C-alpha cells in the first residue's frame, strides 16, 4: 500500500483547521520552546544542546552543561519531521530556512565517525553505547532518521539524510560488522532505519533494522551483561534491574502474543515488525503482529483507542484492566497505535485496522492537544475529578488540565508530526486500487496509468457524507476505489451518480471499480445515529456503565455543561439523544439526553435510595474536554 | 469510661469461636512462626534476634546477623500482648511459662542503660536514635510497653513492665532531661507510654507521651535536620526526602483537620491524641480529634470500616477517593480505627463512634484472618479479579488469597491481640452507667457500689436479640444500662421483663436505669432486615452501585457462588432478599436475591445492549471471602 503523503493535499473543513493550526500555531510555538523563547514553565534547551555539542566538536570543550533528558534530541527530530510535513503542505521559505539552519547545526554536532547525540557528546562521552537499555541513543537516531527522510521527501533536500546515513553507517559498522551485542531498550530506530533504507536504497540500513528486530528477546542476558559491563544509568541513582517485558525483550518477537510493557515501546516495535513482515513477506512475523493486535484491541485498549493502563512503567497491565481515572493512555502510545494500524492494514486490507486508526486519531491524538494548539496532554484519562486527578498519589499523572510543555516532552511534537502527515493514514494505493481509510477531504494526485486526481469531499466527523470525484488526465481513470465501511455506521449507502449501487464488500471495504470519468461521483452516506457503547462484562471498571459515540467520536460529560457534577448522572438505556450543532469548542455537535441526577445527603454511606431527579445530560466530544477550565469529566456513565 | 477487660468474660456463640481460635490456633501458630518453627514461606527470626542481642550484651559479640525489618521486635511484642489477653481469658500455665521465658530473654537483651531494641543492638549500634523518622525504635518500645502492661494486668507479673519502665526512663532522660529533639516517624510509643503511666503511676511516662504529641509537626525542620545529621536509612539505599504529611507531622496536631498520610500511623496518633485529650480535658485536642474523625468517617472510609486508599505510602489520599480493587484498607489500620473509636466514645458517648468500631471489627479485622486462623490479609480489597488482583503492577498489593505470613508482619499479631481483648471495646463503665457498645455475649463483673454481674446474651451478628440479665451481690444493682442503638437497625425494641419500654435515648444510646434485681431481664431486639447501601454520589468508584448489609455485616458476591463470574451481575434495587442459615463458612446467613446477569460476546466494546438473563445472586458475609480458593469477589454491585 503505497504512501500517498506527497500526493495528497488536505482540503477538509474539520481536519483542515488542524492542519492550519499545526502550521500557524503549533510548529512556531514548539519551535520557540525548543529555542527556550516561549516562556513556558518547562525549559527545553534542546537546540542549545546541539550548539554545545557543535562547540565541543569544534573546540574540544564547552563551558555550559547539557540540560534535559537523555532523549532530548528527539524533540528536535520530531519537530523537524513535523516542520517537514508542514512545508510539504504549505511551502514557507522562512520556516524552511530556519530548518536548514537547525540541520546545519545538527551536522556540526556530528562526530567525524558519524556518531550523533548531544547527551553523549556534551555530558557523557565516556558512556557512548554503554547502555542500550536505557540511554536512548538508538531511539534518538531513529527519530532523526525519520525527520531526515521526511525533510528529503517534502523539500528534496538531502543534507539531514546524509547526516543520518553517516550515523546509520556508524551503527552498521558497530552492530553488524563488528558484531557488538544488543538491541535498543526503546524501539524506534528500526522504524527510522527502514524508512532511511527506502529513501536511500541503502540495504545495510534495512539489514540493521532486521538485525535489531531479530535479536530482540533472543539473548535474554544481554541487559544483565550490559549492566555488569557498565553499571551506569542516565536517569541518576543506580541502574535498576532489567525488566525484559517492560521493553518487549522477554521473548523473541515472533513468539510474543500479549501486548506487554511500556506501551509506546510496544507499538513502535510492533510497527517495525509489521513493516518488516510486509517487506520480507515474513509470515511468522505477520502472525505475531496479528496476535499482538488482537491482544491490544480485544483486551487492552480503551474505548478511545488509547492504550496503557498504568502509570507504573507507562504500561500495559493485564487483560480487561482499563481503569478510567488512573488510565495512562499516553498520547504517544495512541500515535504509535496508529502507526501500527497503518502497517497492519497494508499487511491485510481489513477495515478493523483502519477503524482503530480512526478511533485513536479522533479520541486520543486530538484530545492530546488544547483546541488552541498551545497545551498538551501526555495522559488521557477517561474520568477526571478535580481534587483527586493530578493530586492523589495514585493520580499525579492524570492531570485535569493540559500543561504547555513537559520535562519529558515526547507527546507534543509527536502530535505535531502526526497531524500534518495525516494523508499517509487517510489513503493508500495498492496497484490500481485507491483505499479510502479515513474520511478526510482533499485531493489525491495519481500517476501510473491511473493518471488524474481523486477528489474527496468529506463532511465528517459531524455530517454523514463523503463524496469522491475524479479528474482524469485523459478521458477516464482506470482504477478501483475501496471505501472503508466503518464499524460505527450500521447502514452505509453508496451511490454512483445518484443511483444506489451494491459493490462487493470484502473485509469491511466496498470495492467500486471504474473506469471513472470527470462526470462520475460516488457518494457514501453513513448512519451517524448516536450509539451507546457497552464494554465487555470482564472489563470491570465499566460494568453497569455505558459510553456514547456518534460517528467516530466518543463523547463525554463535563461539569461545565452539567451543573458542575457529572458523578451523580445516570443515563437511561433507551433514551433518545438530541443533537445540535453549536459553535463553541470550535464547532461541535452537542448531545443532550434525558437522564437522572441522583442526590444524596452529605453522609458517606446511606441506606436510603438516592433521590432521582430528571435532568438533561449534556455531552460534548471527548476531544474537546478540558478546554473550558478545571472541571469534572466522565466518559462512562452509569445507566439504568 | 473504665476499661472492663479484666472484668468481662466472653461467652458468645459467634465471637466465642474466635476467642477459642485465637487461643488454640492463632497464638500457638504465631508463636511457632516467631520461633521459625512453622515452616511458612516468610522467615520471622524475631525471637532469634532477641537471642542474638542477649548474646551481644553478655559476650560483647554475636556471630549471626540480625534478620528482618527494623521493627521486627514489634511482632514479638504484639504476640506477647495477644498471649497475655489469652491468658486472661484462659489460664494456661504452659503458655505462661513460655511467655516468661521470652520475657526473660527480652530482659537479657536490654542494655544496662535501659535501651532495648535488637536491630540496633545486633546490627546498627552506631545508629541508635539517629533516625526517629524511619527507624521505629520508639514504635517497638511502644508496642513492648503495651505488651508489658497487658501481661501485668492479665497475670499480675511485673517483670516485662519493669523492663519497659527502664526503657521509658532511658527515653525520658534523653528526650526530656537532655532535651534531645524530635518525635517518632511512626506514632505508637505515645499509646504505650500512656498505658505504662496508668499501670505504674509513673507520671514521667505520661509527660513524655504528651511531649511527643505536643512537639509533633511544630518543628517542621526536624526530619531534615536529622537527615543532614545522620544520612542513614534502615531500609537500604539513600534516605528519602521527608514527607511530613506521611507521618502526620505537617502541622501541630491541634491544627490538623484532614486525615492524611500513612493510615496506621494516623490512627495510632489520633488514638493517643484522644487519650491525652481525655486525660487532660484538653478541648483543643478533642476538637482536633473530632475533625479528624469526621474527615475519616465522612469522606475517607470504606463501607467496611477500612481506611487507606492507596498502596503508595499505605495511605489516605483525597476525599471520596475510595477505589475498590486497588484499596489498601490495611487490617492494622482498621484495628487502629477501632482504638481511635474506643477513645472517642469515651470522650463523648455517641453511638456513631461505636458504630464504626463494630463496622471495622466485623468487616476489616475478621476478614483479615482466614477462618482457620492460619492465613492473613494485610490488604482488604473490596473487589478482587484473579488475573489482575495481586498481579497487575497497580494491584500487586491486593492479593486475592491470604498468605500465611508477611516479611512485614504487622497485621497478623495485631489481629491476635485485638480479638482476645474485645471486651475492652464491647463495654465501658462511666460512674454507675454500663455502656454496651458491641453486642457480644459474656459476663461483666462489677464492683464499686454496683456489686454483681451483668450477663449479656447475644444472638448477633446473625440473629436479632441481645438480652441483659443481672446477678446482684446484694438484692439489687443500682446502675444504668446504656445500650447502643445501632445505625443499621431502623426499629429497635426494648423490653423490660417482657414489657415494651421507651427509655431516654441520647446520642444513640438508650439509657435504662435500675436498680436491677436477679429477676430482671432487658431484651433488645433489632431490625435485621437486609439493607442496600448507597454511597455518596461524590464517591466516584461506587456511582451506580450498591452494597448489601445485614445487621453489622457487609456482604459480597463471590465467584464460587455465582458461576465464577460476579462482574456481570446486576442487582435490582427493589428486589427482596432471601435469607438462609447455612453451615458452610463456619455458619453464616447466606443471602440470595433476584438479579440479572449481563452477557456480551467476546468483543471488547459493542453497540449492542448486553443480553440480560434473570439469575439468583448469592451473597456471603464479606468477612468470609477468600476461604474457598481463588475466585472473583465484589462488594459494590451495579444496580438498576
DSSP notation for A300-365: SB-TTS-B--BTGGGB--STT---STT---BHHHHHHHHHHHHHHHHHS--HHHHHHHHHHIIIII
Distance (Å, whole) CA A459 – CA A525 = 10
B538 is written with which cell numbers?
A: 461524590
Name chain B contacts of A536, Cβ cutoff 8 Å: 600, 602-606
On whether the CB atoms of residues A545 and A535 are closer than 8 A, the answer is yes
Distance (Å, whole) CA A538 – CA A540 = 5
Cβ neighbours of residue A39 closer than 8 Å, sequence gap 6 or more: none
Give the containing element (helix H, strand E) for B433: strand B433-436
Contact A310 B394 (CB under 8 A): yes
Taking CB atoms and an 8 Å cut-off, how many pairs form between chains A and B?
181
Q: Using CA atoms of B382, B386, B387, B392 in order, give the dihedral in degrees to the nearest 10.
A: 30
pLDDT attached to residue B42: 83
pLDDT attached to residue A192: 98
The radius of gyration of chain B from alpha carbons, rounded to an integer in Å, stands at 25
Contact B537 A570 (CB under 8 A): no
Q: Using CA atoms of B489, B491, B497, B498 in order, give the dihedral in degrees to the nearest 10.
A: -120
What percent of chain A has a predicted confidence (pLDDT) above 70?
A: 100
Q: Cell 523518622 sits at which residue?
A: B133
Contact A317 B394 (CB under 8 A): yes
A511 by Cβ neighbours in 10 Å (0-12 / 13-18 / 19+) ranks as: middle
pLDDT at residue A423 tops 90: yes
pLDDT digits (tens, 9 = 90+) for B300-314: 999 999 999 999 999
A594 by Cβ neighbours in 10 Å (0-12 / 13-18 / 19+) ranks as: middle
Distance (Å, whole) CA B339 – CA B270 = 9
In terms of Cα–Cα distance, which of A293, A313, A294 is closest to B392?
A313
Q: What is the mean pLDDT of residues A329-355?
A: 98
Name chain A contacts of B323, Cβ cutoff 8 Å: 394
DSSP-derived letter for residue B357 is: H
pLDDT attached to residue B241: 85
At A570 the three-state DSSP class reads strand
pLDDT attached to residue B474: 85
The Cα diameter of chain B in Å comes to: 78
At A533 the three-state DSSP class reads strand
On whether the CB atoms of residues B316 and B337 are closer than 8 A, the answer is no
On whether the CB atoms of residues B10 and B442 are closer than 8 A, the answer is yes
B393 by Cβ neighbours in 10 Å (0-12 / 13-18 / 19+) ranks as: middle
More confident residue, A299 or B38: A299
Is B314 a residue of the active site?
yes
pLDDT at residue A286 tops 70: yes
Distance (Å, whole) CA A193 – CA A213 = 11
Which of B140, B332, B410, B556 is flagged as catalytic?
B410
Distance (Å, whole) CA A505 – CA A500 = 14
B259 by Cβ neighbours in 10 Å (0-12 / 13-18 / 19+) ranks as: buried
pLDDT digits (tens, 9 = 90+) for B543-558: 999 999 999 999 999 9
Name chain B contacts of A386, Cβ cutoff 8 Å: none
In terms of Cα–Cα distance, which of A223, A216, A351, A357 is closest to A273?
A216
Mutate to test the interface with B, among A294, A305, A383, A392 (most CBs of B within 10 A): A392
Q: What is the mean pLDDT of residues A34-54?
A: 91
Contact B318 A534 (CB under 8 A): no
Is B448 a residue of the active site?
no
Annotate B50-94 with DSSP letters as a single string.
Answer: HHHHHHHHHHS--SSPP-S-TTTHHHHHHHHHHHHHHHHHS--HH
pLDDT at residue A219 tops 90: no
Distance (Å, whole) CA A427 – CA A438 = 7
pLDDT attached to residue B215: 96
Q: Cell 503495651 sits at which residue?
A: B146
pLDDT attached to residue A325: 98
Name chain B contacts of A603, Cβ cutoff 8 Å: 298, 536
Q: What is the mean pLDDT of residues A346-373?
A: 97
Q: Which of A297, A321, A599 sits opposite B388 (nearest CB)?
A: A321
Q: Which of B299, B395, B608 sits opposite A604 (nearest CB)?
A: B299
On whether the CB atoms of residues B177 and B190 are closer than 8 A, the answer is no
pLDDT attached to residue B280: 97
On whether the CB atoms of residues B150 and B103 are closer than 8 A, the answer is no
**Phi, psi at B608, each rounded to 5°:** -85, 130
Q: Provide the shortest C-alpha distance from residue B112 to chain A (in Å).
A: 41
pLDDT attached to residue A73: 97
B533 by Cβ neighbours in 10 Å (0-12 / 13-18 / 19+) ranks as: buried
pLDDT at residue A448 tops 70: no
The residues that bridge with B121 in the sheet, in sequence order, are none
A523 is written with which cell numbers?
A: 457518494
Distance (Å, whole) CA A177 – CA B198 = 80
pLDDT at residue A447 tops 90: no
The sign of the torsion formed by the CA atoms of A232, A237, A240, A246 equals negative
Q: Cell 536491630 sits at which residue?
A: B119
The residues that bridge with B511 in the sheet, in sequence order, are B482, B504
Contact B536 A297 (CB under 8 A): no
Distance (Å, whole) CA A554 – CA A205 = 40
The DSSP bridge pattern shows strands B433-436 and B480-484 to be: parallel
B227 is written with which cell numbers?
A: 537527615
Q: Can you list the alpha helix ranges (DSSP code H) found in B7-158?
A: 13-21, 27-34, 46-59, 73-89, 93-108, 118, 137-155
pLDDT attached to residue B39: 83
On whether the CB atoms of residues A213 and A274 are closer than 8 A, the answer is no
A74 is written with which cell numbers?
A: 528527539
Contact A531 B567 (CB under 8 A): no
DSSP-derived letter for residue A83 is: H
Q: Provide the shortest C-alpha distance from residue A268 to chain B (in Å).
A: 22
Q: Which stretches of chain B score pLDDT less than 70?
A: 448-449
Q: Provide the shortest C-alpha distance from residue A638 to chain B (in Å).
A: 5
**Phi, psi at B83, each rounded to 5°:** -60, -40
Annotate B360-388 with DSSP letters as a single string.
Answer: HIIIIIGGGB-TTSS-B-SB--SEE-BTT
pLDDT attached to residue B600: 79
On whether the CB atoms of residues A81 and A147 are closer than 8 A, the answer is yes
Cβ neighbours of residue A606 closer than 8 Å, sequence gap 6 or more: A600, B533, B534, B536
Cα nearest neighbour of A599 on chain B? B537
Distance (Å, whole) CA B70 – CA A66 = 41
Minimum mean pLDDT range among A311-325, A336-350, A439-453:
A439-453
Residues in chain A: 640
The overall average pLDDT reported for chain A is 95
The radius of gyration of chain A from alpha carbons, rounded to an integer in Å, stands at 25
pLDDT attached to residue B405: 83
B75 by Cβ neighbours in 10 Å (0-12 / 13-18 / 19+) ranks as: buried
**Phi, psi at B567, each rounded to 5°:** -70, -25
pLDDT digits (tens, 9 = 90+) for A469-524: 999 998 889 999 999 999 999 999 999 999 999 999 999 999 999 899 999 999 99
Mutate to test the interface with B, among A544, A573, A606 (most CBs of B within 10 A): A544
Residue A408, CA distances (Å) to A29, A136, A238, A397, A411 in order: 17, 13, 20, 12, 8
Amino acid at each position: 500500500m503505497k504512501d500517498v503523503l506527497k500526493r495528497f493535499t488536505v482540503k477538509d473543513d474539520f481536519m483542515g483547521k488542524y492542519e492550519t493550526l499545526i502550521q500557524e500555531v503549533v510548529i512556531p510555538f514548539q519551535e520557540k520552546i525548543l529555542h527556550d523563547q516561549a516562556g513556558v514553565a518547562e525549559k527545553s534547551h534542546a537546540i542549545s544542546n546541539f550548539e554545545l555539542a557543535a562547540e565541543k566538536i569544534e573546540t574540544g570543550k564547552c563551558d555550559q552543561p547539557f540540560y534535559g533528558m537523555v532523549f532530548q534530541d528527539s524533540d528536535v527530530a520530531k519537530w523537524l519531521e513535523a516542520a517537514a510535513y508542514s512545508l510539504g503542505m504549505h511551502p514557507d521559505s522562512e520556516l524552511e530556512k530556519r530548518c536548514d539552519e537547525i540541520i546545519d547545526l545538527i551536522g556540526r554536532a556530528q562526530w567525524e565517525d558519524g556518531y550523533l547525540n548531544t547527551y553523549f557528546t556534551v555530558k557523557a562521552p565516556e558512556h557512548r553505547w554503554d547502555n542500550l537499555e536505557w540511554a536512548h541513543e538508538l531511539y534518538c537516531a531513529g527519530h532523526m532518521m525519520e525527520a531526515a527522510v521526511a525533510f528529503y521527501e517534502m523539500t528534496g533536500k538531502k543534507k539531514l539524510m546524509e547526516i543520518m546515513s553517516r550515523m546509520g553507517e556508524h551503527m552498521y559498522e558497530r552492530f553488524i560488522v563488528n558484531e557488538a551485542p544488543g538491541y535498543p531498550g526503546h524501539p524506534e530506530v528500526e522504524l527510522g532505519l527502514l524508512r532511511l533504507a527506502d529513501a536511500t536504497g541503502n540495504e545495510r540500513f534495512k539489514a540493521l533494522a532486521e538485525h535489531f528486530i531479530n535479536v530482540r528477546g533472543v539473548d535474554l542476558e544481554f541487559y544483565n551483561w550490559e549492566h555488569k559491563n557498565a553499571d551506569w544509568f542516565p536517569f541518576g541513582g543506580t541502574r535498576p534491574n532489567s525488566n525484559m517485558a517492560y521493553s518487549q525483550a522477554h521473548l523473541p518477537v515472533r513468539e510474543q502474543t500479549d501486548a506487554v510493557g511500556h506501551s509506546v515501546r510496544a507499538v513502535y516495535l510492533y510497527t517495525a515488525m509489521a513493516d518488516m513482515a510486509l517487506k520480507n513477506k515474513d509470515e511468522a512475523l505477520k502472525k505475531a503482529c496479528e496476535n499482538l493486535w488482537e491482544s491490544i484491541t480485544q483486551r487492552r485498549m480503551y474505548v478511545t483507542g488509547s492504550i496503557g493502563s498504568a502509570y507504573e512503567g507507562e504500561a500495559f497491565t493485564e487483560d480487561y484492566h482499563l481503569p478510567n481515572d488512573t488510565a495512562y493512555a499516553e498520547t504517544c502510545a495512541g500515535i504509535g497505535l496508529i502507526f501500527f494500524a497503518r502497517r497492519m492494514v497494508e499487511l491485510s486490507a481489513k477495515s478493523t485496522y483502519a477503524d482503530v486508526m480512526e478511533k485513536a486519531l479522533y479520541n486520543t491524538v486530538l484530545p492530546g492537544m488544547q483546541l488552541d494548539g498551545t497545551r498538551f496532554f501526555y495522559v488521557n484519562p477517561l474520568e477526571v475529578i478535580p481534587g483527586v486527578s493530578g493530586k492523589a498519589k495514585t493520580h499525579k499523572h492524570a492531570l485535569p488540565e493540559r500543561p504547555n510543555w513537559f520535562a519529558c516532552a515526547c507527546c507534543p511534537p509527536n502530535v505535531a508530526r502526526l497531524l500534518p502527515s495525516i494523508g499517509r493514514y487517510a489513503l493508500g494505493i495498492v496497484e490500481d486500487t485507491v483505499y479510502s481509510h479515513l474520511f478526510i477531504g482533499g485531493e489525491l494526485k495519481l500517476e501510473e496509468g491511473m493518471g488524474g486526481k481523486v477528489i474527496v469531499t468529506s463532511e465528517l466527523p459531524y455530517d454523514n457524507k463523503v463524496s469522491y470525484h475524479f479528474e482524469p488526465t485523459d478521458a477516464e481513470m482506470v482504477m478501483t476505489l475501496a471505501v472503508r465501511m466503518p464499524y460505527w455506521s450500521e447502514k452505509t449507502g453508496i451511490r454512483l451518480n445518484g443511483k444506489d449501487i451494491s459493490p462487493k464488500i470484502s473485509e469491511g471495504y466496498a470495492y467500486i471499480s471504474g473506469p471513472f470519468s470527470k462526470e462520475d461521483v460516488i457518494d457514501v452516506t453513513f448512519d451517524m445515529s448516536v450509539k451507546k457503547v457497552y464494554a465487555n462484562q470482564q472489563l470491570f471498571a465499566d460494568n453497569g456503565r455505558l459510553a456514547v459515540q456518534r460517528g467516530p467520536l466518543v463523547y463525554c460529560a463535563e461539569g461545565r455543561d452539567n451543573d458542575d457534577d457529572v458523578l451523580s448522572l445516570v443515563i437511561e438505556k433507551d433514551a433518545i439523544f438530541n443533537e445540535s450543532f453549536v459553535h463553541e469548542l470550535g464547532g461541535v455537535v452537542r448531545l443532550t439526553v434525558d437522564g437522572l441526577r441522583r442526590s444524596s445527603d452529605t453522609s458517606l454511606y446511606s441506606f436510603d435510595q438516592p433521590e432521582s431527579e430528571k435532568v438533561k445530560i449534556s455531552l460534548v466530544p471527548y476531544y474537546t474536554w478540558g478546554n473550558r477550565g478545571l472541571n469534572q469529566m466522565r466518559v462512562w456513565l452509569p445507566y439504568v
